Each structure stands twice: as structure tokens, then as C-alpha cells.
Structure 1
């Protein structure tokens, strides 16, 4: 399996594909998976991802499970 990398769009700096640091995966009320973290410069990042990618990131140790 390829290297898993969680990225998001940074609204403040308008950068795409910014790596998420200190990621925490949570479930929304409708069952979607949401990744929250920061970019290392103090900006918060949030993105939605699929179940497969979210669970793979938790298993690989890239993100913490938040539920």
C-alpha cells in the first residue's frame, strides 16, 4: 500500500495540499470521517475523507482516533 498522507486546503493562506500535523480523525453525525489538525504554523486545518483512508491513517499511526 502506498504512503498515506493527509492533506487539506488552507483557507487562510489559500494553499492546496497542505500536510496535516497532529491529525485527529472524528466521525460526523451523519457518519462521515473528518480529519482535524494544524499545519505547524498555527493555522487549523479540517478536511473530510473516506472511511478507508481514515482508518488506514489511524492504523499507520499518522492520526489519532477521536471517537
Structure 2
């Protein structure tokens, strides 16, 4: 939390929320991006990948596969 800009802090909170929502429901990635306040799904995907190392769709699929194992 320390040493990061307010924008980075808010982005991290949004991505943490996105991770929870992607693993628990079938909301579209575009709708999720808008619900979290991103202006475009492309920008959401860019920020998501910056913090997680994965695209939102890859992350969702990985979470589904982990649950099925």
C-alpha cells in the first residue's frame, strides 16, 4: 500500500474485485470493466494484466480449471 500513487492503489482495489467477480460469476468481461469504472474493456484488460500477469479471460479460465481439479 505504501509507495504507490493513489491511482495505482485504486486500480489494485479494482483488480482485486475483478478477480473475485471473474471467479464467482459469469458476468461479461466488458460489463465487468464498465461496472468497475473503466472506460473501455481494452484499458481494463491492460491494467488487469499489469497487476496479475494474465488477461481477464485467461485468469477466469485458469480459476475454473483450478476449481474442477
Structure 2 length-normalised TM = 0.28
Q: Larger radius of gyration, structure 1 or 2?
A: 2
Higher helix share: 2
